[in-house]
Amino acid sequence: MSALGQLKTLYHMVLSPIRGESHQQRLDSFYAGQAEHYDATRQKMLHGRDELFADLPAPEGGVWLDLGCGTARNVEAWGDRLSNFRQATLVDLSESLLGVAQKRVEEKGWHNIELVHADATMVEIEPGSVDVVTFCYSLTMIPNWYDAVDHALTLLKPGGTIGVVDFYVAKKYPTEGRQKHSWFRRTFWPIWFANDNVFPNPDLLPYLERRFETVSVNEHAGKIMMIPMLRIPYFRFMGRKPA
């Protein structure tokens, strides 16, 4: 990406005001000026996506649902296993990002991909028809994220798999086995990300563990483009809908 592209993207990420009355309007206000360079800038700060997809099952003849798909970059994370799915539905509320996703689907020649412009909390798919559902750095941008998680649970088949990777902050007193974050991490990151309407939440990971049978949880911290000396906490969660 050119230096001009980097500066333009940083401006829209950090300085450009976010306007709009609805969640969709605010999303497109934020992404419209940076959608073209989204993948180049996020590659160095949205950690753990490839590792998540490497762990996820890709059942033969299955159905995959990606909620908050962005530019459809997640499709590439399946590699050759993408052909296992008879159908993949990619959902996003941002028309700007879906425009980039459409170009990627056409250029790659993917034939089992359907792009849907919809709200992740109410996308119309037959309940109990999905084998794998994923959220990659999207739940922290959905105001009523718990509704999105509950809707995903409804859409999954019994025994179906959910995979989530996202920013988070730990509870002040986390449950046994979970990481404990410093006061600085628990305070600084929600304030920093709030400017972009991203809300790392201490209840997100516990809620996922409560709604699904936990298969695996990994807690890490990764570099972030604008503040290279700090590390932003993120987690990978894989769970199963109870059968």
pLDDT mean over 219-227: 84
Residues with Cβ within 8 Å of 182's Cβ and at least 6 positions away in sequence, in order, are none
Tokens of 66: 């990606």
The 3-state DSSP class for residue 36 equals: helix
On the question of pLDDT at 2 being above 50, the answer is no
Instruction: Name the band, by pLDDT with cuts 50, 70 and 90, for residue 238.
Output: very high
Domains of the chain: 46-240 (3.40.50.150)
Residues with Cβ within 8 Å of 1's Cβ and at least 6 positions away in sequence, in order, are 9, 37, 40, 41
Helices (H), ranges, the chain: 3-10, 23-31, 38-42, 49-55, 73-76, 95-108, 145-155, 183-194, 204-211
pLDDT at 67: 98
The 3-state DSSP class for residue 72 equals: coil
Q: Can you tell me the distance from the alpha carbon of 115 to that of 99, in angstroms, rounded to the nearest whole number?
A: 10
Amino acid at 85: F
Over its C-alpha atoms, the chain yields an Rg (Å, rounded) of 17
Q: Can you tell me the distance from the alpha carbon of 194 to that of 200, in angstroms, rounded to the nearest whole number?
A: 9
Q: Can you tell me the distance from the alpha carbon of 26 to that of 107, in angstroms, rounded to the nearest whole number?
A: 28
pLDDT at 36: 60
pLDDT at 229: 85
Q: What is the DSSP letter of 112?
A: S
Residue from 231, 210, 213 nearest 222 by CA? 231
pLDDT mean over 82-107: 93
Condensed to tens digits (0 to 9), the pLDDT of residues 41-89 reads 555 678 999 999 999 999 999 999 999 998 999 999 999 999 999 999 9
Half-sphere exposure of 141 (CA within 13 A, CB side): 24
What pTM did the predictor assign? Answer: 0.85
